[in-house]
A and B are shown apart, each in its own frame.
Chain A
Amino acid sequence: MRTPNLLCAAAALLLPVPSAAAAPHNYVVVIDKMKFGPVPAQLHPGDTILWVNRDFLRHSATAANHSFDVDLPAGARVKMVVKSRGRIPFVCRYHPGMRGVLLVQ
């Protein structure tokens, strides 16, 4: 019985790749000069986004579907866990011309 256990242990050691692929990823989205920088091409629930406001102005990252609303005072760095799936447009509530879209699969 020891051999199968060892095999299992060995197999577990050899299988970090699929589990790593499923693990949450951490991303950074930078706001600078009144614009949202590039967002990750593909997100999954559980991933985190660190919103970094490099502007001297207060901004927010506010989802159209109300799934998130992150207040971002000048210079703020705020981490957010991605929760809902779908195509989620977002804006700065203070400057609605600043916009982007998250794609969460």
Chain B
Amino acid sequence: MKLTFALPAALLIMAAPAMAADGPTDPQIAHIAYTAGSIDIAAGKQALARSHNKAVRSFAQEMVRDHQAVNDKALALVKKLHVTPEDNATSQALSKQAKATLDKLSHLSGSAYDRAYVDNEVAYHKTVNGALEKTLIPSAKNGELKSLLETGLTLFREHLAHAEQIAKGLK
């Protein structure tokens, strides 16, 4: 059975109507991006606590390191821009779903856990990358925020490719 708990890509985009008609604002985008990063850091930490698979652990370390670096950069940027990240429906939906995913994964172990974690990482990065590409980057007004999101998208595409490669090895 393939366990995939990630949000459908549509959700991140569908949540936009709750925001201004022309898409999320920069404070909302900053909040969504930071929340999405925090979710993957938590997932990576859980994987480091539960997995004994070398490739999975190496991937999880990469997720924690890279997403923490992006979030640190994002925090420094909002401070510099005097922007206060604004909670919103998309961030809340992401957090709620992520909590459910962590709970489900916490009941798995061994190869079942490894497969579920990596499959979820594939789905999650597809979802977040799609949202960055279609909604968050086009909506971002500030140039530095847009640039950070673009670098993030390049990075997260690497993560997706890495996750897909590991998923193949686990089949």
Q: What are the residues of chain B within 8 A of A74 when measuring CB–CB? A: 69
With a cutoff of 8 Å between Cβ atoms, the chain A residues found around residue B57 in the complex are: none
Inter-chain contact B69/A33, CB cutoff 8 Å:
no
Q: Give the number of residues in A that approach B within 8 Å (Cβ atoms).
A: 13
With beta carbons under 8 angstroms apart, the residue of A34, A55, A94 that contacts B62 is: A94
User: Which residues of chain B come closer than 8 Å to A97, judged between CB atoms?
Assistant: 154, 157-158, 161
The answer to whether B150 has its CB under 8 Å from any CB of chain A is yes
The verdict on B18 contacting chain A, using a C-beta distance below 8 Å, is no
Which residue among A34, A35, A55, A74 has the maximum number of chain B CB atoms within 10 Å of its CB? A34
Of listed B65, B70, B154, residue having the most chain A CB within 10 A: B154
Q: Mark A27-55, 1 if CB is under 8 A from B, else 0.
A: 00000011100000000000000000001
CA distance A34 to B151 in the complex (A): 7
Q: Taking the complex as formed, is B109 at the interface, i.e. its CB lies under 8 A from any CB of chain A?
A: no
Query: Does A57 make an interface contact (CB < 8 A)?
Result: yes
> Is there an interface contact between A95 and B155, defined as CB atoms closer than 8 Å?
yes
- Give the dominant DSSP class at A's interface: loop
Q: Do B158 and A96 touch (CB < 8 A)?
A: yes
| Contact of B69 with A34 in the complex, beta carbons under 8 Å | no
The interface centre, meaning the residue of A35, A56, A96, A98 with most chain B CB atoms within 10 A of its CB, is A56
With beta carbons under 8 angstroms apart, the residue of A33, A58, A96 that contacts B65 is: A58
Contact at A56–B73, with CB atoms within 8 Å?
yes
What are 15 A-B pairs with beta-carbon distances under 8 A?
A33-B150, A33-B151, A34-B151, A34-B154, A35-B154, A56-B70, A57-B69, A57-B70, A57-B155, A58-B65, A58-B69, A74-B69, A94-B66, A97-B157, A98-B158
* B residues at A contact (CB < 8 Å): 62, 65-66, 69-70, 72-73, 147, 150-151, 154-155, 157-158, 161-162
